[in-house]
Amino acid sequence: MYETHVDGRLIAELSDEELKKAIGQICLQIKTGISVLSAAVQDFGVIGILNPERSIKANKAKAEAALRMLDDSLKNYVMEATIRGISISENLQQAYGRSAQLNHNMFLMGSLSEVVS
């Protein structure tokens, strides 16, 4: 809420439309990151050996780190939207791919990539 937006203004200073747009963009990035984590792509090993930066394992690790950062960032925007009474449930449901509670056992697995796959 009192964090800054990418342009240096406080999130609380954004207009309703700017706030909705920012939330939409972050949600789209989260949805993309989740799709990278849950992609059923086979890692042939050779790719990982010749170019470790392009291996599926490396990409999933990067996506997981980016998702955690985006999730932390989104919280500030969600709080501001909630204070203003702006409905963003649909954005969040589409980003995270769910509209109901998760099974508690999923979190016992440990890795975010295991939860979303």
Provide the β-strand partners of residue 10. Answer: 4
Structure tokens at 117: 């796959």
Give the distance, in angstroms, between the CA of residue 87 and the centroid of all CA atoms in the same chain: 18
pLDDT (tens digit, 9 = 90+) per residue, 67-110? 899 999 999 999 999 999 999 999 999 998 889 988 766 555 45
Give the helix ranges, DSSP H, for 39-102. Answer: 46-50, 56-84, 89-96
pLDDT (tens digit, 9 = 90+) per residue, 4-41? 999 999 999 999 999 999 999 999 999 988 887 776 45
Contact status, residue 77 vs residue 22, Cβ threshold 8 Å? yes
- The residues spanned by each domain of the chain are 11-116
